[in-house]
């Protein structure tokens, strides 16, 4: 049985940033699709460039939030693992 005593803050933050960027891409695609549909229904044209910029903004914002949240979670884990002993893993 192995005990995970600490994790790399930067490595966790990078992985979380990538996961969140993927979620931002999906949310951006769905969100801009609905904005385009509702805009067309209301008679307000939404250009493709606006949608692409909106998707890029979502990806960047989600990635930044994911990086920060991952770093905070890793720091908290390292502090709590030092106090509580870490997570026990059965590696086979």
Q: Which residues contact 19 (CB under 8 A, 6 or more apart)?
A: 66
Give 26's contacts (C-beta < 8 A, 6+ positions apart): none
The domain segmentation of the chain, as residue ranges, is 2-89
pTM of the predicted protein model = 0.82
Per-residue model confidence as pLDDT tens digits over 21-49: 999 999 999 988 887 777 777 777 777 67
DSSP string over 12-24:
HHHHHHHHHHHHH
Q: Tokens for 56, please give them.
A: 């890029």
């Amino acid at each position: 049985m192995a005990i995970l005593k600490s994790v790399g803050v930067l490595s966790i933050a990078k992985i979380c940033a990538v996961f969140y960027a993927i979620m931002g891409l999906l949310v951006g695609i769905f969100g801009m699709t609905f904005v385009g549909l509702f805009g067309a229904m209301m008679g307000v044209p939404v250009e493709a460039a606006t949608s692409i910029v909106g998707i890029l903004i979502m990806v960047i914002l989600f990635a930044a939030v994911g990086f920060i949240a991952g770093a905070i979670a890793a720091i908290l884990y390292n502090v709590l693992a030092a106090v509580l002993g870490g997570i026990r893993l059965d590696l086979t």
